Amino acid sequence: MKNKFIIILVLGVFAGPQLFSQPSLKPFVVASSGGYYTSAAGSLSATVAEMTMVQTFSAASNFLTQGFQQPGEWYASVKEDKPTNGINTYPNPNNGKFCFVVNSQQKGSAVINVYDILGRKTVSEKMNLNPGINSTSIDIRGSAIGIYLLEYLFTYENGRKEAKVIKINLAY
C-alpha cells in the first residue's frame, strides 16, 4: 500500500505538469474585423464588438495563460434626435441627394457642413436665411454608403450663434 502511494505520488509530480501543459495552444481571432497583437510584455486580441486580452507566461515546461473577454456591447453612436427648432432633412435615408429645410424665426446666415463618419468634410454650403421657410438641396452622390453628420451653424444678425448636428443615412 505504501509503495503504491509513493509510485502514484512520484508519477503525479513528474507527469502531472506534462498532462496539463499547452505548448501548442496559441490564441487566435476568427472575426470579420479585428486583430492579434503581441510583444514581449504580452498579447492582445480584439474583434469588433468584443475585446479580448490574453497573456501567456512560460517557464521550462510550464505554461500559464490568463486573460479576459469583455462580453458587453460597447459601441459609439450618434443620438438621432427628432427634428427640432424648425430644422429638418428629407428623405433620410437617401441616395446622396437630400433637402435641408430651416424654418427660421430671424434673419441671419448659416453654414452647412457634411462630414463622413471619419470626420472628413464632404460638403460645405452657405445659406442666407430670412424669416420663414428656407431650403437648399445638398448632393453627396458618389460618396460611400454609410452614416454622415450634417452640421448646421447659424449666426443671427445680432451675432448670437446656434449649432445643430443631424445624422444622415446614405443608402443606394
- pLDDT (tens digit, 9 = 90+) per residue, 93-125? 899 899 999 998 889 999 999 998 888 999 999
CB 149 within 8 A of CB 166: yes
For residue 51, the model assigns a pLDDT of 46
Domain 87-170: top CATH class: mainly beta
- 101 phi, psi to nearest 5 deg: -120, 135
The total number of residues written for the chain in this structure: 172
How far from 35 is each of 28, 56, 70, 74, 127, CA to CA, in Å?
Answer: 9, 17, 15, 17, 45
Please report, rounded to a whole number, the percentage of residues in the chain having pLDDT higher than 90. 24
Between 56-65, 76-85, 117-126, the lowest mean confidence (pLDDT) is in 76-85
Q: Is the pLDDT of residue 72 over 60?
A: no
Q: In whole angstroms, what is the distance from residue 46 CA to residue 70 CA? A: 10
Q: In whole angstroms, what is the distance from residue 137 CA to residue 127 CA? A: 11
- Boundaries of every domain in the chain: 2-70, 87-170
In terms of phi and psi (left: phi > 0; alpha: psi -120 to 50; beta: otherwise), the region of 15 is alpha
Q: In whole angstroms, what is the distance from residue 21 CA to residue 18 CA? A: 6
CB 92 within 8 A of CB 83: no
To the nearest whole number, what is the mean pLDDT of the chain? 75
